[in-house]
Amino acid sequence: MALARTLLTGAAVLALAVAGIVIPSEPAHANVVCLGNGTTAPTITAPATALEGNAGDTNRLWELVVSCGPTTDPVGSAWELAWDSVAPLPLGMSFDGQNNHQLRGIPQQVGVHTITIRVVATNGFDAENPVTLTRTIAITARPRMTSTSIPPATVGASYEARFNGYASGVTAVGALPPGLTMGPSGVVSGMPEYAPGSGASASYAFRAAVDGVTASNAPFTINVASSTPVISTDSLAAGWTGLGYDQLLTAPFGADWTASGLPAGLAVSGDRITGTPTQSGTFSVVVTASRGTAHSVSRTLELHIGESAALGDVTLPRAVRGVAYDHALSILGDDVVFTGGSDAPGLVVAEGRISGTPTAAGGFEVTAVVENAGARVERVLELIVSDPGYTVSEVAASPDQLLAFGAAGLPAGDGFDVTLGGERVLTGVTASVEGTVDRVFAVPRLAPGVYRVETVGAAVPGSLELTVLPVLDTALPQLHYGRGYAGRIDSRYGGAVAVAAGSTLPPGLTLHPDGALEGTAGYDGVSPAAETRSIPITVNGVAAGSVLLPLVLDAPTLDADEPPRAVVDAPYVFAIPARGQQVDVTVAGELPEGLELIDSELVGIPVEPGEFALTVTAENRAGRVVRDVLLVVTRPTVTVSTGSIAPGARLDVHGEGFAADAEVAIWVHSDPVLLSRVTSDPDGRIRATVAIPGSLPPGLHRIEVRTSTGSYWAELTIVGGLARTGAEPVALLAMAAALIGGGVLLRRGGWRLRRAGAR
């Protein structure tokens, strides 16, 4: 099992250690590949002292160094060393075939063994001249105890077992039973203790060692039998509620513990009773010590848990100046020590009581301290001392609410009635012998406001202020910005409803005193598209809380109608019909030349006819709507039914491309004569039949269709006598001939009307 290893440093280091067992009659071999010049002999070095070990030991280490010799060849020539022992190795030891620089094994032969290590170069160096090194290995025997059996032990009973063979240096390796120790001469002695949870018996395995070398014996075992424990705890310490508790339970040589009858908050943990008791009293606790089911004993012990000191008072009853006062504080706990004091003139704090006759009115402090072994509580309480007179438990209350009416310092037996806002709320009130009154009345159903609680017929008149609070019954409907709104805030018992000072309604809303909320709220452009706003309300000037008003911004809408047609050279204004609050309008597409979008309106003067496809978008914070529309721009034209006509005849006038529903006037020139007024139809057409005045002289004339934005013309020839315009008859006849057959001449008027008689 040779393993070749190349050593780039030019040297090989081999260490001999313990591993595996081989047959001693067969020498083992190991190889190493060296880089050398092929002429220099390898060398072997090792410690001069003998190599030693103990039979049966592991992890024994020997080192042997084999050097390949100097390397002079720059390239290097590889040659192999084979090395082994001349004589057989000690039983249990061999060269490691997998790790060619180690000697491994567990020595089995006691004695001194001489081994010769031989190194032979199988190629390169002279293979006939091996290098050798002789060393001795001393193998000594492990110690051995002569004792072969160990007697059993019992918890709490004296025990001794002797291991023969050595007078000193003996130690135990492993776990001895608790309570037992091993002496240097090999004597195990002591009194075994119980291991918690071990039950009726327990076994403990260990070995012996001499001077640190483990004996060859197999592990020894001591069996420990349990015995019935004896409880040595004869009392339990007292505890206090709310205070941590810890009590040790004892039984010589140990035991497992349980307990019953413990107060709440306490439990057994190991050999202790621990916890924080929450229950006071004296308890009979049964504690049980056991060592397995067959060995147990119980004992009943008394446990006293005292109540820790506490003070029940957090407030003090009101006192009256000049009236005797006596109040016992609520002191809790066992064996409580009380101390206290007060700065109220005339009062004394002692033995848990506040007593005396206060001589001054105002707010004072009473200090009370209660303490015992369980706790210390110190509290400063406020004591109000009032002047003699009347009291009501609240300064503001709602109708039907019950209030306490009290009095102090009155003449004994004084009788009277009590009113609130003029309504009698108590009758037959009588002061006690101490001059006090303690009654209850219900607040009448009065409108909100400030009223007086007054005595009627009392020897000491009394009058106190009380505010009757509003009660609102309302659930406001949702408000849509830009829409008319109507809601109501109802005060159950009447009164003028208003918005609290410092608060405002959405702009456009009005709250009337009768609670009607109405108007049209405009959107401010920054509020959420949907929210619920809290509005503080007062009734008769008394705060009534807030009402919730849901506010919604509607998404915009766009009418479906196409925009009205525009007319070339005519001013055009079209408000895009976007509805909603804070709506932004945009128009995408090619606008007719001369038109532009200004503040949601298409305005301007178109200069060329055509059809223009536009996309209109209306958007606000609540949404957007998009609609495609077609804007038509027309150029008006005028035609007449005939190009020549006699005076007095009727003529049909037609026009197209005008604005829808536009008022137009039809004139005849040269001397302007109004022939008719008509209105264009929704498609921008006009139809009219007019009478030609009989006074028109023959010759060339024009028909004018006049709108508010311009004039449009058609040529017309009047036939008959000579024209009064001075035109030559020949020229007139030529013009008339040219127009016979109903030909029409179209002209577009400018923005300004022509002067009368102009041609």
SS3 labels along 409-446: CCCCCCEEEEEECCEEEEEEEECCCCCCEEEEEECCCC
pTM equals 0.41
**Predicted local confidence at residue 460, as pLDDT:** 78
The strand order across the sheet containing 601-604 reads 572-575, 601-604, 595-598
**CA 26 to chain centroid:** 79
Domains in the chain and their CATH numbers? 12-140 (2.60.40.10), 153-225 (2.60.40), 239-306 (2.60.40.10), 310-386 (2.60.40.10), 389-468 (2.60.40.1930), 472-552 (2.60.40), 557-632 (2.60.40.10), 637-748 (2.60.40.1930)
Amino acid at 382: E
Mean pLDDT in order along the chain per 10 residues (759 residues): 27 28 36 52 53 51 53 47 63 58 65 70 55 69 72 94 82 91 91 92 88 78 94 95 94 96 96 95 96 93 94 83 87 92 95 93 93 91 85 92 90 88 96 88 96 91 93 93 94 94 91 95 90 94 93 91 88 92 93 94 94 95 93 93 94 92 93 94 93 92 92 92 39 37 34 28
- CA distances to 489, 508, 532 from 511, rounded to whole Å, are 9, 10, 17
Q: Count CB neighbours of 444 within 10 A.
A: 17
- Exposed e or buried b for every residue in 280-301, given b needs 16+ CB within 10 A? beebebebbbbbbeebeeebeb
Q: How, if at all, do strands 51-54 and 131-140 pair?
A: parallel
Q: How, if at all, do strands 337-342 and 319-320 pair?
A: unpaired
- Exposed e or buried b for every residue in 198-214, given b needs 16+ CB within 10 A? beeebebebbbbbeeeb
What is the rounded distance in angstroms from the CA atom of residue 405 to the CA atom of residue 439? 5
Q: How, if at all, do strands 601-604 and 663-669 pair?
A: unpaired
**CA 87 to chain centroid:** 82
CB 634 within 8 A of CB 684: yes
